Amino acid sequence: MQNPARHVYSRYTQNVSTRVEHILGKVLDGHAVTYASGLASGFAALVHFKPKRVAIRGGYFGFHQTIEVYKKCRDQEIQVIDLDDEYKPGDLCWVETPVNPTGESRDIQYYADKIHRAGGKLVVDSTFAPPPLQYPFKLGADCILHSATKYLGGHSDLLAGVLVVKTEAEWLELQGDRTYMGNMMGSLEAWLLLRSLRTFHLRVLRQSATATALVQWLKSVESSPENSSFDGIPGGLLKKVLHSSLQVVDSRGFDPSKQMEGGWGATFSILLSTPEYAKALPFLTKYFVPATSLGGVDSLIEYRAKADATEDPTLIRISVGLEDFEDLKADLKQALQRCKNEKSKL
C-alpha cells in the first residue's frame, strides 16, 4: 500500500491521493493519511485509539457530535471529560489549538505531559495553525489532525481531512481501517489538494501577517471608551478582540509565542456590544464574504451563533484571506462605522 506497483482499486490507493499523502507527510513531519473530510479523519482517530474516555473542551462543535456517533458503535459507555479533569490509562486527550472560533492557543506540551503520565494519547487538531506556524509533534502530540478543507486546501473548493502519525505501523493501520470504513478522499479532491499545496507556504505566511496586523489595529479600536472614537469608529461598539497574539504568559508559564513559532493564526474573533450589531456586521462588509468555513484565499466573516447555537451571541469570527491589508482594514472600518445605523438584515 505504501509503494504499490500498480493501483488496482481506488478505495485502496490511487496515484493522485498516494502522491498528495506523500507530500503531506513531508510538510507535516510524519506519515499522512487523507480522508473525505475533517470530521471523517476525527472519527478515524477515535476508531484507531479506541478510548473509553475523551478529554475535550469547546472548540469545533462538529467533533463533539462525531464523538456522539462514535458512542453508538461501542457497547460500553464512552465518557466525555474536561481537559483539566484527572486522566486515566487509555484516555484520549483531544486538544484543538488554536481553538475555534477565537483563534486562541492551548498549551500542547502541558497536555502531552499530563496525558502521557496517565498512560493515554494526545491528538492535536492543528487546523488553525498549519506549518510553519506550529509543529505539534515537537511538543508531544501522538497524532495530528487537519481539516484540509481549510488552510491546506486554501481555496474553499474541496472537502478533505488528514491524520498524521509518527510511525509507519500506525500509518498502515490507519490505511487498513480507511479501506473498510470507506471514508477515503475522492480523486478530484486529491488533485485539488495537490494543486493547493503548490502555494501553501506562500498563502499561510501572508494570511498570518495580515491577520496579525488587523488584530493589532482592532485592539486599538477596542480600547476606545464609549462617547469617544478611534479611527472614526464609535467607542464601546467593539468590546473584545480574541487571538493568540493577544494572550499573555499564563500562571503555568505557557507562552503562546513559543508554541506558535512561525507566526500567528489567520482566524480570530471579535465581540460586539450587542447581538444585534453582531448579526448586522457581516452584511455590511464589501471584501469580507459573510459565510462559514475559513482558511481560504477569500476573507470571510461570520456571525458564529448562526452556525453554533452554543456560541456567544455577540461573537463574530473572521478568517483573513489574501487581500491587501489596507483594503481589509478599510472594509472593517466602514462596516463598523455603519453598524449602529443599520438594522439587522438577517
- Looking at the fold, whether 20 and 135 belong to one and the same domain comes out as yes
- Looking at the fold, whether 223 and 166 belong to one and the same domain comes out as no
Average pLDDT over residues 250-273: 97
- Looking at the fold, whether 256 and 167 belong to one and the same domain comes out as no
More confident residue, 69 or 229: 69
Amino acid 246 reads L
CA distance 151 to 278: 25
Amino acid 91 reads D
> What is residue 172's predicted lDDT score, i.e. its pLDDT?
95
Task: Please check the confidence at residue 60 and state whether its pLDDT lies above 70.
Answer: yes
Task: Please check the confidence at residue 5 and state whether its pLDDT lies above 70.
Answer: no
Reported as a pLDDT band with limits 50, 70 and 90, residue 2 is low
Q: Is 3 within the bounds of a domain?
A: no
Residue 113: all three cell numbers together: 505531559
Residues 6 or more apart whose Cβ sits within 8 Å of residue 14:
7, 187, 190
pLDDT digit string, tens, across residues 269-320 = 999 999 999 999 999 999 999 999 999 999 999 999 998 888 999 999 999 9
- Looking at the fold, whether 190 and 294 belong to one and the same domain comes out as no
pTM, two decimals, is 0.94
Q: Is 4 within the bounds of a domain?
A: no
- Looking at the fold, whether 31 and 172 belong to one and the same domain comes out as yes
Cβ 288 vs Cβ 318: under 8 Å: yes
Q: Is 152 within the bounds of a domain?
A: yes
The pairing of beta strand 289-290 with beta strand 267-272:
unpaired
Q: Is 302 within the bounds of a domain?
A: yes
Give how many domains the chain has, as a whole number. Answer: 2
> What is residue 76's predicted lDDT score, i.e. its pLDDT?
79
> What is residue 345's predicted lDDT score, i.e. its pLDDT?
46
Assign residue 316 the CATH number of its domain. Answer: 3.90.1150.10
Q: Is 277 within the bounds of a domain?
A: yes
Which of 142, 169, 197 lies at the terminal end of a domain, its last residue? Answer: 197
Show the 3-state SS of the chain: CCCCCCCCCCCCCCHHHHHHHHHHHHHCCCEEEEECCHHHHHHHHHHHHCCCEEECCCCCHHHHHHHHHHHHCCCCCCEEECCCCCCCCCCEEEEECCCCCCCCCCCHHHHHHHHHHHCCEEEEECCCCCCCCCCHHHHCCCEEEEECCCCCCCCCCCCCEEEEECCHHHHHHHHHHHHHHCCCCCHHHHHHHHHHHCCHHHHHHHHHHHHHHHHHHHHHHHCCCCCCEECCEECCCEEEEECHHHCCCCCCCCCHHHHCCCCCCCEEEEEECCHHHHHHHHHCCCCCEECCCCCCCCCEEEEHHHCCCCCCCCEEEEECCCCCHHHHHHHHHHHHHHHCCCCCCC
Question: Around Cβ 198, how many Cβ atoms within 10 Å?
Answer: 9
- Looking at the fold, whether 87 and 117 belong to one and the same domain comes out as yes
pLDDT digit string, tens, across residues 93-109 = 999 999 999 999 999 99
Which of 147, 182, 197 lies at the terminal end of a domain, its last residue? Answer: 197
Average pLDDT over residues 155-159: 97
Residues 6 or more apart whose Cβ sits within 8 Å of residue 76:
52
> What is residue 346's predicted lDDT score, i.e. its pLDDT?
43
Range of weakest confidence among 73-87, 111-125, 241-255: 73-87
Assign residue 139 the CATH number of its domain. Answer: 3.40.640.10
Q: Is 290 within the bounds of a domain?
A: yes
Q: Is 293 within the bounds of a domain?
A: yes
- Looking at the fold, whether 155 and 271 belong to one and the same domain comes out as no
- Parent domain of 288: 200-343
Task: Please check the confidence at residue 88 and state whether its pLDDT lies above 90.
Answer: yes
Contacts for 246-253 with beta carbons within 8 Å, 24 or more apart? 246/215, 246/219, 247/104, 247/105, 250/107, 252/107, 252/110
pLDDT digit string, tens, across residues 20-51 = 999 999 999 999 999 999 999 999 999 999 99
Average pLDDT over residues 112-137: 99
Q: Is 179 within the bounds of a domain?
A: yes
